[in-house]
Amino acid sequence: MLSEIKSLSFIVPCLNEEENIPEFVKQVHALQAQNYSIKYEMIFVDDGSHDKSLKILRELSKKHNHIRYISLTRNFGSHIALLAGVDHCQTDAAVFIPADLQKNPSLVKTMLEHVSKGAEIVIGRQKKTKTGLMTRWLASFFYFVFELVGNVTLPSGGTDFILITRRPIQFLRENREYDVNIFMLLLWPGFRSATFEYSEEKRFRGKSKWTFRKRISLAIDSFFGFSSVPLKMITRTGIVLASGSFIFVLYIVVETSILGSPVPGFPTLVAIITFGFGITFLALGMIAEYLSQVLSFSRGRPMYLVSEINEQEFQPRGEK
């Protein structure tokens, strides 16, 4: 029930967001002024910024007890930064939201309404994306393929805006995966969820740090992290190729030994070898992706390292 959500954390990953942080804080304060029944805190996770983001966060945390920050030693990625925020939040619910204000903080009110109806996870889905044509096409292709082979049901178009309650928060703390897609990890257990549509706004200041390269990297990690189909495809492809090779050998035997017709050798041999090597290297590449994820986990390295954190007393804004 909504009455059970008495406090909420805004977990905000930051990478060179000095121009956006003050305005983000201002808008969250405006939201809080409209609803004193929910106590808010903001947890900013500085993910290796090189601008004045950390300095601004230090100053804000001194002025406001409900603003906290975590500074990581380097850039670990936005999903790891979100996990760092989850590790340090002490509220009944948390919302993952970027500092660029493309997701309006006021949308949290809609999310809380879904929580009041029993949702443990509330997913925001963009009505229309403003990314480039190639990015949209590749994203659509990824979601189409993943719908066929993945073991997680994704909302149409995916998501990067989500609110979670205590049970999902605890799940994230107890289950760690390297090269993680935190949103797919949250959808995997089957928590009660609700989806709503929203219109993404123009970025307040600066340029997005979510590059095309990072999108591709996350897509690959997500595909191999939440689907075992590629491994099964290797076995099935091997069976098909072995069967085809056996049939071709029988064909050669019949043509040469029984019918006495010579079979052109060199072009056929080159084609078969080239095709075989292509399939082999593709299979090795798939196995290497899985082994890479296993190796990352088996090393036992921490997912992130904190260089600085303000350990002030937890005092969410909203108390009278």
Predicted model pTM: 0.72
Strands of 121-126's sheet in order across: 193-198, 121-126, 161-165, 93-96, 7-14, 39-46, 67-72, 306-309
* Beta strands per DSSP E along 5-136: 7-14, 39-46, 67-72, 93-96, 121-126
Specify whether the CB–CB gap between 41 and 66 falls below 8 A.
Answer: yes
Q: Does an H or E element contain 33, and which?
A: helix 21-34
pLDDT at 69: 95
In the structure encoding, which two tokens stand for residue 142, read together?
Answer: 């990824």
Burial class (CB in 10 A: 0-12, 13-18, 19+), 235: exposed
The H or E element that residue 198 is part of is strand 193-198
Mean pLDDT per 10-residue segment, the chain (320 residues): 76 93 92 78 93 94 92 90 92 92 90 92 80 66 67 65 94 82 84 88 69 67 67 72 71 69 63 72 75 71 88 58
CB-based contacts of 108, cutoff 8 Å, min separation 6: 8, 10, 31, 95, 163
Q: Letter for the amino acid at 163?
A: L
Give the angle subtended at the CA of 237 by the CAs of 235 and 242, to the nearest 5°: 95
Considering the segment(s) 2-226 as one domain, its CATH architecture is Alpha-Beta Complex (3.90)
Structure tokens at 146: 């993943």
Q: Which two tokens stand for residue 83?
A: 């996990």
